[in-house]
């Protein structure tokens, strides 16, 4: 199944539900979950209307973390926006940087040296490992595990963050990519560190899966919960693992074949049910593919410059025009749309955040399920509020 095979489907959400105050049936219970609820993954708020414990209506509310990101982008130079992109999806600053760099490189017609492309792939796949590991941990926390999977996940995350820090100077706000390459050249010791991490990651995943994937309660809690139809997913513009869990083969690494991805041999796992368990398992399987990409990239990492010598960072003024650069981030398609009028700042700066667009189908997935399910469905969508609110 690919995107073009599917006919659009209108959303079942928004259908008439019974009034909150109903003298005949009794009142429904309106609960405001968030913005300081322990499992809304940040300052997200859901106003859920409950019939017993069943959700009959769910209204997402966001904007608590709005900080004028796009307007800031229009008032700063191209380069000065790079650190701001770290703050979008603060778990995955490396892929945010890359997507923004791709957009600017397209706009200015810059070439990227091959070594930089390889380093970008290595960092992006490390970010994918980081994001999916954290997500699996958070999801299990939402399922009611007393922090054990989360602690295991964070132990691994720490190792990746240490490597990010060694390379870029910062654990989470990396600000590492530049237009036409990367900021610093990774040292051989750093590459050895990544190699060590990659070799240890498979056993960690085995351990994690042995604890959780076959767990009877996890399967009962997540299988058949929060089903998403592929038609609805496509018409809502959902991307990333959430889309692939519904069985739609849409991975920008294959579709766009950007960077040096065509050189690597990897597969795209697909789910058949589109439920929470599929969304969890797709991420685990994607991590295994990422490990294989990392192995190949580390083996084939070429020498040479890390920056295009012709790239000029200061006084950077791309000629007038527009460009949209996108990559497959861990959460889905992360894209930046830029219009240049020839000045030092973009005339228009727009972010396509995967979290925000994936979140739009939340009510459709939650209707008819219980409060407990809504929490894990939200967890399986994988949102970061820095990106949703911008």
Partner 1 sequence: MSAAPMVVSPAPLLERLPLDLRDAVLGLLPESLRWLASGLITILVLLAVFGLLFAYLTLAERKLLGRVQNRPGPNRTGWFGLLQPFADAVKALTKEDVVPRAADQVLHYLAPVVLVALSLMGFAVIPFGRLLVPVELDAAVLYFFAAGAATELAVFMAGWASRNKYSLLAAMRALAQLISYELPLLLSFVPVIMLAGTLSTTGIVAAQDGWRFGFIPHWHILTPWGFAGFVIFMIAAFAESNRSPFDLPEAESELIAGHLTEYSGFKYALFFMAEYFGMCALSAMAVTLFLGGWRAPLPFLEFIPSYLWFGLKLITLLVGFIWVRATMPRLRIDQLTRLAWKFLVPLSLINLGTAAFWSLTTTWTGPLYLARWAVALAIVIIPFVTLGRQLSAGNGPRTYRYAS
Q: To 10 degrees, the CA torsion angle through 87, 90, 93, 99?
A: -70
| Stretch of 7-15, 291-299, 366-374, 380-388 contacting partner 1, by CB under 8 A | 366-374
Q: Are 325 and 190 in contact (CB under 8 A)?
A: no
Q: How many of the other CB atoms lie within 10 Å of CB of 222? A: 25
Q: Is 373 in the site for partner 1 (CB under 8 A)?
A: yes
Binding footprint of partner 1, residue count (CB under 8 A): 53
Sheet holding 29-33, edge to edge: 29-33, 45-51, 54-61
| Stretch of 124-132, 167-175, 281-289, 355-363 contacting partner 1, by CB under 8 A | 281-289
Q: Which is nearer to partner 1, 38 or 304 (CB)?
A: 38
Reply yes or no: is the peptide bond before residue 35 cis, omega within 30 of 0.
Answer: yes
Find the shortest distance in angstroms from Cβ 196 to partner 1. Answer: 19
Find the shortest distance in angstroms from Cβ 192 to partner 1. Answer: 25
Instruction: Look at residue 29 and give its three-state secondary structure.
Output: strand
Q: Is 375 in the site for partner 1 (CB under 8 A)?
A: yes
Find the shortest distance in angstroms from Cβ 245 to partner 1. Answer: 10
Q: For residues 348 and 29, what is the distance between their CA atoms, to the nearest angstrom?
A: 44
95 — alpha (psi -120 to 50), left (phi > 0) or beta? Answer: alpha
Q: Which is nearer to partner 1, 89 or 278 (CB)?
A: 278
Q: Is 38 in the site for partner 1 (CB under 8 A)?
A: yes
Q: Is 313 in the site for partner 1 (CB under 8 A)?
A: no
Q: Is 339 in the site for partner 1 (CB under 8 A)?
A: no
Q: Is 6 in the site for partner 1 (CB under 8 A)?
A: no
Find the shortest distance in angstroms from Cβ 244 to partner 1. Answer: 8
Q: For residues 91 and 172, what is the distance between their CA atoms, to the nearest angstrom?
A: 7
Q: Which is nearer to partner 1, 295 or 350 (CB)?
A: 295
| Stretch of 34-42, 58-66, 185-193, 350-358 contacting partner 1, by CB under 8 A | 34-42
- Residue from 3, 9, 61, 268 touching partner 1 (CB under 8 A): that is 268
Find the shortest distance in angstroms from Cβ 38 to partner 1. Answer: 6
Nearest to 239 by CA among 323, 325, 324, 334: 334
> What letters, b where the CB count within 10 A reaches 16 and e where it falls short, cover 336-369?
bbbbbeeeebbeebbbbbbbbbbbebbbbbbbeb
Find the shortest distance in angstroms from Cβ 157 to partner 1. Answer: 13
343 — alpha (psi -120 to 50), left (phi > 0) or beta? Answer: beta
Q: Is 143 in the site for partner 1 (CB under 8 A)?
A: yes
Find the shortest distance in angstroms from Cβ 18 to partner 1. Answer: 19
- What's the Rg (C-alpha) of the chain? 21
Q: How many of the other CB atoms lie within 10 Å of CB of 268? A: 16
Which parts of 208-267 interact with partner 1 (CB under 8 A)? 211, 213-221, 223-224, 249, 251, 254, 267
Q: For residues 331 and 343, what is the distance between their CA atoms, to the nearest angstrom?
A: 32
Q: Which is nearer to partner 1, 39 or 76 (CB)?
A: 39
- Residue from 99, 119, 134, 282 touching partner 1 (CB under 8 A): that is 282
Q: Is 37 in the site for partner 1 (CB under 8 A)?
A: yes
Nearest to 168 by CA among 193, 188, 185: 185
The DSSP call for residue 71 is H
Q: For residues 347 and 343, what is the distance between their CA atoms, to the nearest angstrom?
A: 8
H or E segment at 122?
Answer: helix 114-142
Binding mask 94-133 for partner 1 (x = CB under 8 A): ----------------------------------------
Q: Is 161 in the site for partner 1 (CB under 8 A)?
A: no
Q: For residues 294 and 195, what is the distance between their CA atoms, to the nearest angstrom?
A: 8
Binding site for partner 1 (CB under 8 A): 29-31, 37-39, 50, 52-53, 140-148, 151-152, 155, 211, 213-221, 223-224, 249, 251, 254, 267-273, 277-278, 281-282, 285, 370-373, 375
């Amino acid at each position: 199944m690919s995107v073009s095979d599917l006919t659009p489907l209108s959303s079942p959400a928004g259908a008439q539900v019974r009034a909150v105050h109903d003298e005949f049936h009794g009142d429904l219970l309106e609960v405001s979950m968030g913005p300081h609820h322990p499992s809304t993954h940040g300052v997200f708020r859901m106003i859920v209307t409950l019939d017993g414990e069943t959700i009959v209506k769910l209204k997402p509310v966001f904007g608590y973390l709005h900080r004028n990101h796009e307007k800031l982008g229009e008032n700063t130079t191209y380069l000065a926006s790079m650190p701001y992109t770290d703050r979008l999806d603060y778990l995955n600053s490396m892929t945010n940087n890359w997507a923004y760099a791709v957009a600017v490189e397209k706009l200015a017609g810059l070439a990227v040296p091959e070594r930089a492309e390889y380093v970008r792939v290595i960092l992006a796949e490390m970010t994918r490992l980081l994001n999916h590991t954290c997500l699996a941990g958070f999801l299990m926390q939402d399922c009611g595990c007393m922090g054990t999977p989360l602690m295991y996940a964070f132990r691994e995350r720490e190792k990746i963050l240490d490597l990010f820090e060694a390379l870029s100077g910062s654990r989470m706000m990396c600000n590492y990519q530049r237009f036409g390459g990367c900021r610093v050249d990774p040292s051989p010791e750093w590459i050895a560190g990544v190699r060590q991490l990659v070799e240890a990651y498979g056993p960690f995943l085995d351990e994690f899966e042995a604890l959780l994937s076959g767990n009877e309660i996890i399967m009962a809690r997540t299988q058949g919960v929060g089903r998403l139809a592929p038609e609805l997913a496509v018409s809502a513009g959902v991307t990333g693992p959430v889309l692939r869990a519904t069985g739609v083969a849409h991975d920008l690494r294959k579709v766009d074949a950007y960077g040096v991805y065509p050189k690597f041999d990897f597969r795209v796992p697909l789910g058949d049910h589109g439920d929470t368990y599929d969304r969890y398992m797709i991420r685990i399987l994607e991590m295994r593919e990422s490990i294989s990409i990392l192995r190949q990239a580390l083996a084939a990492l070429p020498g040479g410059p890390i920056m295009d010598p012709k790239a000029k960072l200061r006084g950077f003024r791309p000629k007038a025009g527009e460009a949209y650069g996108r990559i497959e981030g861990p959460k889905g398609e992360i894209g930046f749309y830029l219009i240049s009028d020839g000045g030092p700042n973009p005339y228009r700066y727009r972010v396509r955040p995967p979290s925000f667009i994936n979140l739009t189908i939340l009510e459709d997935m939650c209707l008819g399920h219980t409060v407990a399910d809504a929490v894990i469905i939200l967890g399986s969508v994988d949102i970061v509020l820095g990106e949703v609110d911008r």
